[in-house]
Amino acid sequence: MYEEVVVEGIRFERRGEGGYYKVILHVGSCFAPVSDDIVEELKSKSALLGDRFLDFFLDKVGYSSYLRDQIKHELAKIGDPPKQISTLRQSILDL
């Protein structure tokens, strides 16, 4: 059973217990696995970092410049930076 948490153009897919990675980040037409450790770190830091959360998120999951650029592009579609961070933070907490 898979469950998706969606942010405009970005979605997190929570996979079942059988796979090595339980969370896959889909950005546009690409995807990246996200380790359990990174998911937990993102959850724990989400409220503490405030406006710096987006940079922290990009550092943790954007392991290539292409992926970071794609994430920024999709988040830019939301517009308002505080709303971007809030929406992204909530989608991570819902995982």
pLDDT in tens, 12-47: 888 877 777 889 998 888 889 999 899 999 999 888
Contact 39, 95 (CB under 8 A): yes
pLDDT the model gives residue 21:
82
Cβ-Cβ contacts under 8 Å for 8 (sequence gap 6 or more): 74, 75, 77, 78, 87
Distance in angstroms (rounded) separating the CA atoms of residues 10 and 30: 10
pLDDT the model gives residue 7:
57
Count CB-CB contacts under 10 A for residue 8: 15
Domain count, the chain: 1
Domain of residue 17 covers 3-93
Query: What's the distance, CA 69 to chain centroid?
Result: 13
What confidence category does residue 60 fall into, taking pLDDT thresholds of 50, 70 and 90?
A: very high
Joined tokens for residue 17: 């217990």
pLDDT the model gives residue 1:
47
